[in-house]
Chain A
Amino acid sequence: MNRELLSSALCQIDERYIAEAYRPVPEAASGSSERIVPMKKKRIITFALAAALIIALGVTAYAIGVSIHRRRQEELREQLQIDENQVADYVEYPVAEEPEKAPAEGVTLLSAMNDGEFQRFWVVLNGVTPEMIERLESSEQVDWEGKALPANGHRYSFIYATMDGENYFDAMNPLSFRDGYDLESQTLTTECSIPLHELEPGRKIVLRFVMADCIDYELDHSEAELVCELGSAEVERTGQAIRTVWFSEPVSFSNGAYGKGEFLGAEISASGVNWILRHDGVSQMYRNHEFTDEAQRQAYLELERSWLAAIEDVERTAAVNFADGTCREVGLPLSSSEPEGDIVKDACLFSGGTVHLDQVVSITIGGKTFPAA
């Protein structure tokens, strides 16, 4: 195969598809965060978060004279379809209305939503300089396999949120540096999701946002080094409207030689569905992993890939059905919580933003439809 002609063929991808993919569409921005990987020492829990991509942030003309924080709140409400779907559990925090009253540094909490598995927070980081953005962007110069080194040496710069200095949560991703950054106000808007089990109901915690470097963003984050503190915000778990559906009969699936599994039910919220399932690979996938050699690691990854693919095959068929006869596809499964026994929850967000929870009458998966009583 002539590589030049192969790339020539790829160059002919239709203009409309190029334009369509220019910005992530809501359907593509589905799912939540990835499985938590327990670390031996200090751990960074790697989430793939791209709130600033879901929210196609842009400074709107009507908002002249309004603070960047207020503008971002408006954009979030619109992008997440909060008003349209009467999302009762979306919480918006008070922010400065006028630009001159907006804080120049620290963290401004914009809004929050509890999706049943994760507490999602949207924040503005104030006082983020273009130099910091440049440094963060330089981490893009790596491929996911870590074959190339970042431009700033041997480390990757990211922004994390932490409650205790031990557990870290990605609050950023390279692409959102651009989409979420406002040069004029030197603010960066992003999302941070915290697993619900980390947030005891009714207890406020201080979430610190830091910029840190780490060597490897795959599994070993144990050598992360603090670059600077960006500020903190006091947060707590917000209320949640959820409808739990237990299936009258399990939806079974097979993963060949690896074993079998079954979907037992679903937790439906305005923003997504958490599938409740069990399968034969749970104990192997969710134990602490300390690989002694590359072969072990590869075997684990193969096992994980195989189960993820088998589960995805079923979840790909899912939709929630509304009282008016319409339905909404559930986005592909992109997150799993740690198991309780052999039960695990696989979380995903709806394609195209939130839904009107009260209007959901049933849920379909694997060719079977179950009433959402």
Chain B
Amino acid sequence: MEDSRIISLFFERSEQAIEELDRKHGPAVKRTAANILQDRLDVEECVSDTYLRTWNSIPPQAPNPLASYVCRIAHNLAIDRYHANRAEKRNGKYDLVLDEMEECIPSGMSVETELEAKELGASINRFLGSLSREDRFLFVRRYWYADPVRDLAAMTHSSPNRISVRLFRLREKLRNTLTKEGLLV
């Protein structure tokens, strides 16, 4: 079903909207959550919460594209849950993602407030705008969607080793960008 039709179902307050959303974008939503959360039950709850939040936000919103809209909701909910759970245990997959970014943005930068995080986010967006589409794809899939390197290799017909090399270079490039912009000392 077309996204526009699914949105219409939301506007009509038809429960079929959730079914169709799940049918079309459910796998991507589930994947987004599962890349960040380890526990299967957590993932299921995150997916359910995503649908509930989508139900509550459409209308008035009519997002286009719908897919990234619901993935972002799932992502944000999963991140919240990740941080809540993290006191108890490390999540191998998402911890690796943050470990990589921490190597790139070391202690030389102090991000201690939401405002500084926003500034860093804006800088990352400028950095992304400067990349080729292919490099941007890899960066976003790895550091936002939290896809494992092996999956990125599969998506791009590459080998994990090659993808690791490219991600390493992207992180170096980001580090240079942040230095130039004065965010890194």
Q: Is the CB of A305 within 8 A of B165?
A: yes
User: What is the chain B residue whose CB lies nearest that of A138?
Assistant: B40
By a CB distance below 8 angstroms, the chain A residues around B113 are: 5
Q: Give Cα A198–Cα B13 distance, bound, in whole angstroms.
A: 57
Interface of B, helix, strand, loop or mixed by DSSP: helix
Q: Is the CB of B136 within 8 A of A31?
A: no
Answer yes or no: B53 CB below 8 A from chain A CBs.
Answer: no
Answer yes or no: A372 CB below 8 A from chain B CBs.
Answer: no
Instruction: List the 4 shortest-distance A-B pairs measured between CB atoms, nearest first.
Output: A12-B121, A173-B154, A144-B150, A34-B159
Q: Which of A18, A148, A178 contacts B71 (CB 8 A)?
A: A18
By a CB distance below 8 angstroms, the chain B residues around A140 are: 31, 34, 148, 151
Q: Which of A53, A143, A148, A308 contacts B162 (CB 8 A)?
A: A308
User: What is the chain B residue whose CB lies nearest that of A21?
Assistant: B140
Q: Which of A3, A14, A25, A304 contacts B161 (CB 8 A)?
A: A304
Q: Is the CB of B125 within 8 A of A12?
A: yes
* Shortest CB distance B175–A (Å): 13
Q: Number of A-B pairs whose CB atoms are under 8 Å?
A: 212
Q: Give Cα A13–Cα B110 distance, bound, in whole angstroms.
A: 19
Interface of A, helix, strand, loop or mixed by DSSP: loop
Q: How many residues of B contact A (CB 8 A)?
A: 70
Q: Give Cα A140–Cα B132 distance, bound, in whole angstroms.
A: 27
**Which of B14-22, B44-52, B54-62, B75-83 touches A?**
B75-83
User: What is the chain A residue whose CB lies nearest that of B148?
Assistant: A143
The winner among B38, B106, B128, B153 for most chain A CB atoms within 10 A is B153
Q: Is the CB of A10 within 8 A of B144?
A: yes
How many interface residues does chain A have, given as a range? 35 or more
By a CB distance below 8 angstroms, the chain B residues around A301 are: 161
Q: Is the CB of A24 within 8 A of B137?
A: yes
By a CB distance below 8 angstroms, the chain B residues around A11 are: 75-76, 79, 121, 144
Answer yes or no: B134 CB below 8 A from chain A CBs.
Answer: yes
* Shortest CB distance B16–A (Å): 17
Q: Is the CB of A12 within 8 A of B118?
A: yes
Q: Is the CB of A7 within 8 A of B83?
A: yes
User: What is the chain A residue whose CB lies nearest that of B98?
Assistant: A3
Answer yes or no: B182 CB below 8 A from chain A CBs.
Answer: no
Q: Is the CB of B154 within 8 A of A309?
A: no
Q: Is the CB of A22 within 8 A of B28?
A: yes
By a CB distance below 8 angstroms, the chain B residues around A46 are: 159
Q: Is the CB of B71 within 8 A of A35?
A: no
> Could you give, for residues 122-148 of chain B, a 1 whenever the CB lies within 8 Å of some chain A CB and a 0 otherwise?
101100100011101110110111001
User: What is the chain A residue whose CB lies nearest that of B109?
Assistant: A1
User: What is the chain B residue whose CB lies nearest that of A352?
Assistant: B133
Answer yes or no: A230 CB below 8 A from chain B CBs.
Answer: no
Q: Give Cα A131–Cα B68 distance, bound, in whole angstroms.
A: 27
